[in-house]
Amino acid sequence: MTKHSMRGEKKMTIGETVSGGALTELSRWSNRVLEDRVHRTLYTDPAVFEEEIVKVFGGQSWVYLAHESQLPKPHSYLSVRMGQRPLLLTRDRNGALHGIFNRCSHRGATICRDEAGVAKSFQCPYHGWTFRNTGELVGAPWPEGYGMDFDKSQFGLRKVNRIETYRGFIFGTLSEDAPSVPDWLGPATTWLDYWIDRAPNGEVFVRSAAYRMGYRGNWKLAYDNAGDGYHPSFSHRSLLEMASRMGESKDMSYFGRTPDDGPMRSYSLGNGHSVIDQRPAHEGGFWVNQRPQPGRERLEEEIRAKYPERADELLDLCVGAQINLSIFPNLLIIGNQIQVIEPLAVNRTQLTWHATSIGGVPEEVNTVRMRTQEDFPAFGEPDDQANFEEVQRGLDVVEEEWILMNRGLGTGWQSAAEDGVISTAVTDELHMRSYYAEWIKRMGGAQA
pLDDT per residue over 405-425, tens digit each? 999 999 999 999 999 999 999
| 91 and 213 share one domain | no
For position 243, what pLDDT does the model report? 62
Least confident of 43-47, 237-241, 369-373, 441-445: 237-241
| 200 and 109 share one domain | no
Confidence of residue 231 (pLDDT cuts 50, 70, 90): low
116 in a structural domain: yes
- Please state the separation of Cα 26 from the chain's center in Å: 25
CATH code for the domain in which residue 108 is found = 2.102.10.10
| 216 and 354 share one domain | yes
Which string of b and e fits 43-59 if b means at least 16 CB within 10 Å? Answer: bbeeebbebbbbbbbbb
- What's the rounded Cα separation, in Å, for the pair 95 and 157? 19
| 227 and 367 share one domain | yes
272 in a structural domain: yes
Per-residue pLDDT at 3 exceeds 50:
no
255 in a structural domain: yes
Per-residue pLDDT at 240 exceeds 80:
no
In tens, the pLDDT along 66-80 reads: 999 999 999 999 999
| 153 and 233 share one domain | no
Evaluated on CA atoms 320, 326, 377, 167, the torsion sign reads negative
Per-residue pLDDT at 289 exceeds 80:
no
Q: Which of 180, 179, 145, 175 is nearest to 165 (CA)?
A: 180
| 125 and 194 share one domain | no
In tens, the pLDDT along 113-126 reads: 999 999 999 999 99
Confidence of residue 261 (pLDDT cuts 50, 70, 90): confident
| 150 and 211 share one domain | no
For position 388, what pLDDT does the model report? 87
Q: What is the mean pLDDT of residues 395-409?
A: 95
| 137 and 232 share one domain | no
Give the rounded percent of residues in the chain with a pLDDT score beyond 90: 72
| 97 and 209 share one domain | no
Least confident of 100-114, 380-394, 428-442: 380-394
| 226 and 146 share one domain | no
Q: Which of 438, 211, 192 is nearest to 321 (CA)?
A: 192
| 405 and 315 share one domain | yes
Q: What angle do CA 352, 285, 419 make, to 5 degrees?
A: 65
Structural domain for 201, as ranges: 187-439
Residue 182 neighbours by CB under 8 Å, 6+ apart: 166, 189
For position 26, what pLDDT does the model report? 46
Which amino acid is it at 369?
Answer: R
Q: What is the mean pLDDT of residues 317-321?
A: 91
| 110 and 213 share one domain | no
